[in-house]
Amino acid sequence: MATMPDILIMGGGAIGLAIALELRLRGANVTVVTRDAVEAASQSAAGMLAPQAEKLPPGPLLELCLQSRSLYPAWTQKLEAMTGLPTGYWSCGILAPVYETESAAKDAIASTTPDSPHPTPDSPLPTPAHWLDRPTIHQHQPGLSQSVIGGWWYPQDAQVDNRALTNALWAAVHDAGVEIRAGVTVQKVLHQQSQVIGVQAGEETLQAGHYVLAAGAWSQELLPIPVHPRKGQMLSVRVPTGAIALPLQTVLFGSEIYIVPRQDGRIVIGATSEDVGFVPHNTPAGIQSLLSRAIRLYPALEQFPIQELWWGFRPTTPDELPILGTSPYANLTLATGHHRNGILLIPVTAQLIADRILHQKNDPLLNAFHWSRFKGLP
Ligand code: GLY
């Protein structure tokens, strides 16, 4: 007879897998149940580790994101050592060019914070941001549009190859002895008063001592928490064969566009942000808007061969903050709603959720992400 796991995780995206790995490495018996790992937002992201380029306002989310960004180098190194697989972590920095038309906004910031922490002078961050003027930015990154009049340079923002990372996480959880139930759909969380007593998956009822909901944009199918899909369309191009060096050595983060060069010559371009529910497919309008913004920012892209088009669903809450930690049920923990920062928040989410489940340690930072802030919502 199969023994009951200590912890059952609903969701086989990168967040669910990273929590599983952290719990397993701390000695727990863990099962991951996943309907379709390919659907997860972690497959479709760009992998930017960009709390500064995303211009998150000072507050708990920025704090959480900065903490996670600082965990990334050691965390990916450990994962690579465990599995022998690459994660594509690259401390390439992120450049946020500004056009003439946006210069008023830049002036407001630059006049108060020349070469200083971003985003406001009264809430300095322990992380640098540098304003580059026109000659400096064009020297820093040749090939930018001539309409770029300067930009912010965030040297500590970085990137990871989210697909490589997810592969490495799969291998790591498998090798560590996590049971993975792939292709299994959880239909219902069964509870009695404030305890989860199992989850229904087809004919089966799966049971564990503790449960984690990490089902991303699909979380609302299992619990009445307001997590909705926010669709993002993306595409990739390749540096043409014969190029002597990679033309882009840093992420470009422009107005409603980002261009993320990988070290293997792939260049990821994203992303739309659409409130259309779970409507699949790329659309001509979505791809056209991405291409025109990307080519405007970095004109040479117009000749690069297109490699792939895809889309994904960000898990988004009404206030665009994640839902982390306790739930209405004593033995169920929530790790969902990561919106635009899911890949960035993987290591810190895994750490804080494992601390909570195994050591009853509730980091005060989790208070801002408590599910009960949505009480009263339908
Ligand atoms: N992290 C960027 C995005 O969600 O588009």
In tens, the pLDDT along 57-74 reads: 999 999 999 999 999 999
Mean pLDDT of 275-293: 98
- Give exposure, 170-199, as e/b (b: 16+ Cβ within 10 Å): bbbbeeeebbbbeebebeebebeeeebebb
User: How far is Cα 113 from Cα 131, in angstroms, rounded to an integer?
Assistant: 9
List the single range of 197-206, 218-227, 240-249, 260-269 with lowest mean pLDDT: 240-249
Q: Please tell me which residue, 123 or 91, carries the higher pLDDT value.
A: 91
CB 202 within 8 A of CB 26: no
Q: Is the CB of 342 under 6 A from ligand 1?
A: no
| pLDDT for 104 beyond 70 | no
Residue nearest to atom 2 of ligand 1 (CA): 340
pLDDT reported for residue 244:
75
pLDDT reported for residue 91:
98
Q: Is the CB of 48 under 6 A from ligand 1?
A: yes
Mean pLDDT of 102-126: 49
Q: Which of 15, 43, 48, 159 to mutate to test the pocket of ligand 1 (most atoms within 8 A of CB)?
A: 48
Q: Is the CB of 51 under 6 A from ligand 1?
A: no
Q: Is the CB of 270 under 6 A from ligand 1?
A: yes
Give pTM, 2 decimals: 0.94
pLDDT reported for residue 43:
81
| pLDDT for 103 beyond 90 | no
| pLDDT for 111 beyond 80 | no
pLDDT reported for residue 3:
80
pLDDT grade for 246, boundaries at 50, 70 and 90 = confident
In tens, the pLDDT along 25-62 reads: 999 999 999 998 777 788 889 999 999 999 999 999 99
| pLDDT for 113 beyond 80 | no
| pLDDT for 362 beyond 80 | yes
pLDDT reported for residue 67:
97
Residue nearest to atom 3 of ligand 1 (CA): 340
pLDDT reported for residue 42:
82
pLDDT reported for residue 2:
63
pLDDT reported for residue 40:
77
Mean pLDDT of 275-289: 97
Mean pLDDT of 240-246: 84
User: How far is Cα 42 from Cα 343, in angstroms, rounded to an integer?
Assistant: 7
Question: How far, in Å, from the CA of 272 to the mean position of ligand 1?
Answer: 9
pLDDT reported for residue 126:
72
The chain-wide mean pLDDT, for the chain, equals 92
Residue with tokens 């944009």: 217
Question: How far, in Å, from the CA of 114 to the mean position of ligand 1?
Answer: 27
Atom of ligand 1 at shortest distance to CA of 344? 1
pLDDT grade for 114, boundaries at 50, 70 and 90 = very low
Q: Is the CB of 234 under 6 A from ligand 1?
A: no
pLDDT reported for residue 182:
95
Mean pLDDT of 229-252: 93
pLDDT grade for 105, boundaries at 50, 70 and 90 = low
Question: How far, in Å, from the CA of 119 to the mean position of ligand 1?
Answer: 19
